[in-house]
Structure 1
Protein backbone atom coordinates (compact mmCIF):
# COMPACT_ATOMS: atom_id res chain seq x y z
CA UNK A 1 0.00 0.00 0.00
CA UNK A 2 1.27 3.47 -0.90
CA UNK A 3 1.94 5.81 1.98
CA UNK A 4 1.99 8.97 -0.15
CA UNK A 5 -0.49 10.48 -2.59
CA UNK A 6 -0.35 13.10 -5.33
CA UNK A 7 -2.87 15.92 -4.83
CA UNK A 8 -3.99 17.68 -8.02
CA UNK A 9 -5.81 20.75 -6.72
CA UNK A 10 -8.16 23.19 -8.44
CA UNK A 11 -7.09 22.18 -11.95
CA UNK A 12 -10.54 23.00 -13.26
CA UNK A 13 -11.49 24.32 -16.70
CA UNK A 14 -12.21 27.93 -15.81
CA UNK A 15 -9.21 28.17 -13.47
CA UNK A 16 -6.81 26.73 -16.07
CA UNK A 17 -8.18 29.18 -18.67
CA UNK A 18 -7.39 32.08 -16.32
CA UNK A 19 -3.91 31.00 -15.28
CA UNK A 20 -2.22 28.84 -17.96
CA UNK A 21 -1.32 31.51 -20.50
CA UNK A 22 1.68 29.73 -22.03
CA UNK A 23 0.08 26.29 -22.24
CA UNK A 24 2.99 24.30 -20.80
CA UNK A 25 1.51 23.72 -17.34
CA UNK A 26 -0.90 20.88 -18.15
CA UNK A 27 1.63 18.65 -20.00
CA UNK A 28 4.08 19.03 -17.10
CA UNK A 29 1.37 18.23 -14.55
CA UNK A 30 0.29 15.28 -16.68
CA UNK A 31 3.85 13.95 -16.44
CA UNK A 32 3.64 14.06 -12.64
CA UNK A 33 0.27 12.29 -12.68
CA UNK A 34 1.54 9.57 -15.04
CA UNK A 35 4.65 9.06 -12.88
CA UNK A 36 2.57 8.79 -9.71
CA UNK A 37 0.31 6.18 -11.29
CA UNK A 38 3.28 4.22 -12.62
CA UNK A 39 4.78 4.18 -9.11
CA UNK A 40 1.49 3.02 -7.58
CA UNK A 41 0.76 6.30 -5.79
CA UNK A 42 -2.87 7.33 -5.49
CA UNK A 43 -3.88 10.44 -7.43
CA UNK A 44 -6.42 12.57 -5.62
CA UNK A 45 -8.13 15.40 -7.48
CA UNK A 46 -9.42 18.26 -5.35
CA UNK A 47 -11.95 20.65 -6.86
CA UNK A 48 -13.76 23.66 -5.48
CA UNK A 49 -17.51 23.31 -5.83
CA UNK A 50 -20.78 24.47 -4.38
CA UNK A 51 -24.42 23.48 -4.38
CA UNK A 52 -26.81 25.38 -6.65
CA UNK A 53 -27.41 28.78 -5.11
CA UNK A 54 -24.13 28.64 -3.15
CA UNK A 55 -25.67 28.05 0.30
CA UNK A 56 -22.15 27.33 1.65
CA UNK A 57 -20.92 30.84 0.83
CA UNK A 58 -21.35 33.74 3.21
CA UNK A 59 -21.54 37.24 1.76
CA UNK A 60 -18.83 38.09 4.34
CA UNK A 61 -16.36 35.73 2.62
CA UNK A 62 -14.14 38.01 0.53
CA UNK A 63 -12.84 35.19 -1.66
CA UNK A 64 -16.03 33.32 -2.42
CA UNK A 65 -18.66 36.04 -2.02
CA UNK A 66 -18.03 37.24 -5.59
CA UNK A 67 -18.24 33.68 -6.92
CA UNK A 68 -21.65 33.18 -5.35
CA UNK A 69 -23.12 36.16 -7.19
CA UNK A 70 -21.72 34.91 -10.51
CA UNK A 71 -23.04 31.36 -10.16
CA UNK A 72 -19.58 29.94 -10.87
CA UNK A 73 -18.45 26.58 -9.51
CA UNK A 74 -22.00 25.48 -8.74
CA UNK A 75 -23.35 22.09 -9.72
CA UNK A 76 -23.63 21.91 -13.50
CA UNK A 77 -21.11 24.69 -14.21
CA UNK A 78 -18.92 23.37 -17.07
CA UNK A 79 -16.07 25.62 -15.89
CA UNK A 80 -15.99 23.74 -12.58
CA UNK A 81 -15.11 20.43 -14.27
CA UNK A 82 -11.61 19.05 -13.82
CA UNK A 83 -9.64 19.91 -16.96
CA UNK A 84 -9.86 17.02 -19.46
CA UNK A 85 -6.06 16.97 -20.00
CA UNK A 86 -5.66 15.71 -16.41
CA UNK A 87 -9.06 14.05 -16.02
CA UNK A 88 -9.47 11.58 -13.20
CA UNK A 89 -9.46 7.88 -13.93
CA UNK A 90 -11.99 5.60 -12.25
CA UNK A 91 -9.44 4.58 -9.60
CA UNK A 92 -8.71 8.21 -8.67
CA UNK A 93 -10.49 9.87 -5.78
CA UNK A 94 -12.19 13.22 -6.43
CA UNK A 95 -12.73 15.45 -3.40
CA UNK A 96 -14.95 18.52 -3.48
CA UNK A 97 -13.95 21.34 -1.15
CA UNK A 98 -15.90 24.42 -0.12
CA UNK A 99 -13.05 26.76 0.78
CA UNK A 100 -9.46 27.53 -0.27
CA UNK A 101 -7.68 24.69 1.59
CA UNK A 102 -8.21 21.20 0.23
CA UNK A 103 -9.15 20.15 3.76
CA UNK A 104 -11.77 22.84 4.48
CA UNK A 105 -15.30 21.65 3.91
CA UNK A 106 -14.17 18.34 2.38
CA UNK A 107 -13.62 14.75 3.38
CA UNK A 108 -9.96 14.77 2.29
CA UNK A 109 -8.59 13.99 5.76
CA UNK A 110 -10.94 11.00 6.08
CA UNK A 111 -9.88 9.67 2.66
CA UNK A 112 -6.17 10.06 3.50
CA UNK A 113 -6.41 8.47 6.94
CA UNK A 114 -8.52 5.58 5.64
CA UNK A 115 -5.90 4.93 2.96
CA UNK A 116 -2.98 5.04 5.39
CA UNK A 117 -1.58 8.08 3.58
CA UNK A 118 0.84 10.20 5.57
CA UNK A 119 2.77 11.87 2.75
CA UNK A 120 1.37 14.39 0.29
CA UNK A 121 2.80 15.67 -2.98
CA UNK A 122 1.14 19.00 -3.70
CA UNK A 123 0.33 20.48 -7.11
CA UNK A 124 -2.29 22.95 -8.24
CA UNK A 125 -3.59 26.37 -9.09
CA UNK A 126 -2.94 28.77 -7.41
CA UNK A 127 0.31 28.63 -5.50
CA UNK A 128 -0.86 31.49 -3.27
CA UNK A 129 -4.31 29.94 -2.83
CA UNK A 130 -5.02 26.23 -2.57
CA UNK A 131 -1.36 25.16 -2.44
CA UNK A 132 -0.41 27.56 0.36
CA UNK A 133 -3.58 26.91 2.39
CA UNK A 134 -3.36 23.15 1.99
CA UNK A 135 0.35 23.06 2.81
CA UNK A 136 -0.20 24.99 6.04
CA UNK A 137 -3.09 22.82 7.17
CA UNK A 138 -1.39 19.56 6.14
CA UNK A 139 1.73 20.56 8.07
CA UNK A 140 -0.40 21.18 11.16
CA UNK A 141 -1.90 17.71 10.63
CA UNK A 142 1.63 16.20 10.58
CA UNK A 143 1.69 15.08 6.94
CA UNK A 144 5.08 14.65 5.25
CA UNK A 145 4.99 17.21 2.44
CA UNK A 146 6.52 17.68 -0.99
CA UNK A 147 5.65 20.52 -3.35
CA UNK A 148 6.26 20.21 -7.09
CA UNK A 149 7.06 23.88 -7.73
CA UNK A 150 6.63 23.70 -11.51
CA UNK A 151 3.34 21.83 -11.12
CA UNK A 152 1.96 24.83 -9.22
CA UNK A 153 0.83 27.98 -10.96
CA UNK A 154 0.07 31.50 -9.79
CA UNK A 155 -1.05 34.74 -11.41
CA UNK A 156 1.93 36.52 -9.89
CA UNK A 157 5.33 34.96 -10.76
CA UNK A 158 7.03 36.81 -7.89
CA UNK A 159 4.55 35.50 -5.33
CA UNK A 160 5.06 31.99 -6.73
CA UNK A 161 8.84 32.39 -6.45
CA UNK A 162 8.76 33.69 -2.88
CA UNK A 163 6.42 30.91 -1.76
CA UNK A 164 8.31 28.07 -3.44
CA UNK A 165 11.80 29.35 -2.63
CA UNK A 166 11.36 30.93 0.81
CA UNK A 167 8.09 29.97 2.51
CA UNK A 168 7.31 26.39 1.50
CA UNK A 169 10.79 24.97 2.27
CA UNK A 170 10.13 25.63 5.96
CA UNK A 171 7.46 22.92 5.95
CA UNK A 172 8.02 20.84 2.81
CA UNK A 173 10.53 19.54 0.34
CA UNK A 174 10.26 21.67 -2.79
CA UNK A 175 11.32 20.10 -6.06
CA UNK A 176 10.42 19.94 -9.75
CA UNK A 177 8.33 17.43 -11.64
CA UNK A 178 11.45 16.14 -13.42
CA UNK A 179 13.43 15.68 -10.20
CA UNK A 180 10.49 14.03 -8.44
CA UNK A 181 9.68 11.63 -11.31
CA UNK A 182 13.36 10.64 -11.52
CA UNK A 183 13.31 9.81 -7.81
CA UNK A 184 10.10 7.77 -8.23
CA UNK A 185 11.58 5.77 -11.09
CA UNK A 186 14.50 4.55 -8.97
Structure 2
Protein backbone atom coordinates (compact mmCIF):
# COMPACT_ATOMS: atom_id res chain seq x y z
CA UNK A 1 0.00 0.00 0.00
CA UNK A 2 1.38 3.42 -0.97
CA UNK A 3 1.48 6.34 1.42
CA UNK A 4 -0.83 9.11 0.34
CA UNK A 5 0.76 12.53 -0.14
CA UNK A 6 0.73 14.81 2.84
CA UNK A 7 -1.69 17.71 3.02
CA UNK A 8 -0.37 20.87 4.64
CA UNK A 9 -1.76 24.04 6.18
CA UNK A 10 0.03 27.24 7.13
CA UNK A 11 -0.88 28.47 10.62
CA UNK A 12 -0.47 32.22 11.12
CA UNK A 13 -0.66 32.54 14.89
CA UNK A 14 -1.25 35.51 17.19
CA UNK A 15 -0.66 38.03 14.41
CA UNK A 16 -3.33 40.25 15.88
CA UNK A 17 -2.97 43.97 16.47
CA UNK A 18 -2.49 43.67 20.25
CA UNK A 19 0.42 41.23 19.83
CA UNK A 20 2.09 42.72 16.75
CA UNK A 21 2.12 46.17 18.39
CA UNK A 22 4.08 44.76 21.37
CA UNK A 23 6.61 42.61 19.48
CA UNK A 24 7.24 44.18 16.08
CA UNK A 25 9.32 47.34 15.76
CA UNK A 26 9.22 47.71 11.98
CA UNK A 27 7.22 46.47 9.03
CA UNK A 28 10.27 44.66 7.60
CA UNK A 29 9.95 42.06 10.37
CA UNK A 30 6.58 41.08 8.87
CA UNK A 31 7.95 40.39 5.37
CA UNK A 32 8.67 36.67 6.01
CA UNK A 33 5.07 36.23 7.19
CA UNK A 34 3.72 37.95 4.09
CA UNK A 35 5.98 35.89 1.82
CA UNK A 36 4.88 32.62 3.46
CA UNK A 37 1.19 33.53 3.22
CA UNK A 38 1.40 34.48 -0.46
CA UNK A 39 3.37 31.31 -1.28
CA UNK A 40 0.86 29.12 0.56
CA UNK A 41 -2.01 30.74 -1.31
CA UNK A 42 -0.30 30.37 -4.69
CA UNK A 43 0.32 26.66 -3.99
CA UNK A 44 -3.23 25.96 -2.75
CA UNK A 45 -2.02 25.40 0.81
CA UNK A 46 -4.76 26.48 3.23
CA UNK A 47 -3.90 29.46 5.43
CA UNK A 48 -5.48 29.32 8.88
CA UNK A 49 -5.26 32.25 11.26
CA UNK A 50 -5.20 31.82 15.03
CA UNK A 51 -5.84 34.56 17.56
CA UNK A 52 -6.33 34.74 21.31
CA UNK A 53 -9.47 36.44 22.59
CA UNK A 54 -11.80 36.30 25.56
CA UNK A 55 -15.44 37.10 26.25
CA UNK A 56 -16.53 40.16 28.22
CA UNK A 57 -15.82 39.57 31.88
CA UNK A 58 -13.11 37.00 31.01
CA UNK A 59 -14.95 33.87 32.21
CA UNK A 60 -12.27 31.72 30.54
CA UNK A 61 -9.45 33.04 32.74
CA UNK A 62 -8.53 31.57 36.10
CA UNK A 63 -6.74 33.77 38.64
CA UNK A 64 -4.29 30.85 38.98
CA UNK A 65 -3.19 31.17 35.35
CA UNK A 66 0.15 32.97 35.55
CA UNK A 67 0.10 34.19 31.95
CA UNK A 68 -3.52 35.34 31.64
CA UNK A 69 -4.69 35.68 35.26
CA UNK A 70 -3.96 39.39 35.57
CA UNK A 71 -5.80 40.45 32.43
CA UNK A 72 -9.22 40.80 34.06
CA UNK A 73 -7.91 42.90 36.94
CA UNK A 74 -5.82 45.13 34.64
CA UNK A 75 -8.74 45.78 32.33
CA UNK A 76 -11.50 46.03 34.90
CA UNK A 77 -13.12 42.87 33.47
CA UNK A 78 -14.02 44.72 30.27
CA UNK A 79 -13.27 42.95 27.00
CA UNK A 80 -10.35 44.25 24.95
CA UNK A 81 -11.35 46.56 22.11
CA UNK A 82 -12.32 44.50 19.08
CA UNK A 83 -9.77 46.34 16.93
CA UNK A 84 -6.92 44.99 19.06
CA UNK A 85 -8.13 41.40 18.51
CA UNK A 86 -8.23 41.74 14.72
CA UNK A 87 -5.52 40.24 12.51
CA UNK A 88 -2.86 42.83 11.63
CA UNK A 89 -3.49 44.60 8.33
CA UNK A 90 -0.15 43.45 6.85
CA UNK A 91 -1.24 39.78 6.96
CA UNK A 92 -5.01 40.06 6.53
CA UNK A 93 -6.99 36.89 5.89
CA UNK A 94 -8.82 36.52 2.62
CA UNK A 95 -12.46 35.63 2.51
CA UNK A 96 -12.88 31.95 3.33
CA UNK A 97 -9.63 31.64 5.30
CA UNK A 98 -10.59 30.53 8.81
CA UNK A 99 -9.81 32.60 11.89
CA UNK A 100 -9.62 30.34 14.92
CA UNK A 101 -10.06 31.86 18.37
CA UNK A 102 -8.19 30.24 21.26
CA UNK A 103 -8.26 30.98 24.98
CA UNK A 104 -4.77 29.84 26.02
CA UNK A 105 -1.27 29.76 24.57
CA UNK A 106 -1.54 26.72 22.28
CA UNK A 107 -3.52 27.19 19.07
CA UNK A 108 -5.47 24.06 20.04
CA UNK A 109 -6.51 25.24 23.52
CA UNK A 110 -10.21 26.00 23.65
CA UNK A 111 -10.45 26.30 19.87
CA UNK A 112 -11.90 24.31 16.99
CA UNK A 113 -8.54 24.15 15.20
CA UNK A 114 -8.26 20.37 15.33
CA UNK A 115 -11.78 19.95 13.94
CA UNK A 116 -10.90 22.21 10.99
CA UNK A 117 -7.62 20.37 10.35
CA UNK A 118 -9.15 16.89 10.55
CA UNK A 119 -12.15 17.85 8.38
CA UNK A 120 -9.70 18.97 5.67
CA UNK A 121 -7.53 15.87 6.21
CA UNK A 122 -4.52 18.04 6.98
CA UNK A 123 -1.63 16.09 8.44
CA UNK A 124 1.23 18.60 8.15
CA UNK A 125 1.41 21.99 9.86
CA UNK A 126 3.64 24.87 8.87
CA UNK A 127 3.95 27.14 11.90
CA UNK A 128 4.52 30.88 12.02
CA UNK A 129 3.66 33.39 14.71
CA UNK A 130 4.39 35.57 17.68
CA UNK A 131 5.88 34.54 20.06
CA UNK A 132 8.34 31.77 19.42
CA UNK A 133 8.37 30.94 23.14
CA UNK A 134 4.58 31.20 23.39
CA UNK A 135 2.13 30.10 20.72
CA UNK A 136 4.74 28.50 18.46
CA UNK A 137 6.30 26.38 21.22
CA UNK A 138 2.96 25.36 22.75
CA UNK A 139 1.35 24.58 19.41
CA UNK A 140 4.37 22.62 18.21
CA UNK A 141 4.35 20.44 21.34
CA UNK A 142 0.61 19.77 21.17
CA UNK A 143 0.66 19.17 17.40
CA UNK A 144 3.49 16.66 17.81
CA UNK A 145 1.49 14.84 20.49
CA UNK A 146 -1.43 14.74 18.01
CA UNK A 147 0.86 13.15 15.38
CA UNK A 148 0.99 16.03 12.91
CA UNK A 149 4.14 16.48 10.82
CA UNK A 150 5.48 19.95 11.59
CA UNK A 151 7.62 22.58 9.90
CA UNK A 152 8.53 25.79 11.72
CA UNK A 153 9.36 28.83 9.59
CA UNK A 154 12.21 30.20 11.69
CA UNK A 155 12.17 33.72 10.26
CA UNK A 156 8.36 33.90 10.39
CA UNK A 157 8.48 33.57 14.17
CA UNK A 158 9.30 36.44 16.51
CA UNK A 159 10.17 36.46 20.19
CA UNK A 160 10.92 39.33 22.56
CA UNK A 161 14.18 37.59 23.47
CA UNK A 162 16.40 36.78 20.45
CA UNK A 163 18.40 34.23 22.48
CA UNK A 164 15.25 32.33 23.47
CA UNK A 165 14.21 32.33 19.79
CA UNK A 166 17.64 30.98 18.79
CA UNK A 167 17.68 28.21 21.41
CA UNK A 168 14.15 27.11 20.52
CA UNK A 169 14.66 27.11 16.75
CA UNK A 170 18.16 25.59 16.83
CA UNK A 171 17.98 23.16 19.75
CA UNK A 172 14.43 22.46 20.96
CA UNK A 173 12.13 22.56 17.92
CA UNK A 174 14.29 20.25 15.72
CA UNK A 175 13.50 17.40 18.11
CA UNK A 176 9.89 17.43 16.86
CA UNK A 177 9.84 19.53 13.70
CA UNK A 178 11.73 20.57 10.65
CA UNK A 179 12.95 24.15 11.17
CA UNK A 180 13.73 26.21 8.07
CA UNK A 181 13.62 29.83 6.92
CA UNK A 182 10.76 30.82 4.64
CA UNK A 183 12.97 30.85 1.52
CA UNK A 184 14.07 27.24 2.08
CA UNK A 185 10.46 26.17 2.58
CA UNK A 186 9.50 28.00 -0.63
CA UNK A 187 12.25 26.27 -2.60
CA UNK A 188 10.65 22.91 -1.73
CA UNK A 189 7.10 23.77 -2.82
Give the TM-score range, shorter chain: over 0.9
Which of 151, 162, 165 is residue 160 of structure 1 equivalent to? 165
Check the 8 A contact 2:11/2:49 in 1, yes or no.
Answer: yes
Q: Deviation at 1:166?
A: 0.2
- For residues 65 and 91 of structure 1, the distance between their equivalents in structure 2, rounded to whole angstroms, comes to 33
Partner of 2:128: 123
Check the 8 A contact 2:140/2:150 in 1, yes or no.
Answer: yes
Partner of 1:105: 110
Partner of 2:62: 58
1:83 aligns with 2:88: yes
Which of 9, 12, 15 is residue 11 of structure 1 equivalent to? 15
- For residues 155 and 68 of structure 1, the distance between their equivalents in structure 2, rounded to whole angstroms, comes to 23
- For residues 112 and 72 of structure 2, the distance between their equivalents in structure 1, rounded to whole angstroms, comes to 22
- For residues 63 and 12 of structure 2, the distance between their equivalents in structure 1, rounded to whole angstroms, comes to 28
**Deviation digits for residues 86-121 of structure 1 (CA, Å, limit 9, x no counterpart):** 011112111000000000100101110001000000
- For residues 78 and 100 of structure 2, the distance between their equivalents in structure 1, rounded to whole angstroms, comes to 14
How high is the TM-score relative to the length of structure 2? Answer: 0.93
Task: Tell which structure's C-alpha radius of gyration is larger.
Answer: 2
Between stretches 24-33 and 126-135, larger displacement belongs to 24-33
- For residues 26 and 69 of structure 1, the distance between their equivalents in structure 2, rounded to whole angstroms, comes to 32
- For residues 2 and 33 of structure 1, the distance between their equivalents in structure 2, rounded to whole angstroms, comes to 19
- For residues 121 and 29 of structure 2, the distance between their equivalents in structure 1, rounded to whole angstroms, comes to 30
Query: What stretches of structure 1 of length at least 5 have no aligned partner?
Result: none
Partner of 2:45: 41
- For residues 41 and 170 of structure 2, the distance between their equivalents in structure 1, rounded to whole angstroms, comes to 27
Measured on the aligned residues, the alpha-carbon RMSD in Å equals 1.7
- For residues 2 and 25 of structure 1, the distance between their equivalents in structure 2, rounded to whole angstroms, comes to 30
Check the 8 A contact 2:153/2:179 in 1, yes or no.
Answer: yes
Check the 8 A contact 1:7/1:46 in 2, yes or no.
Answer: yes
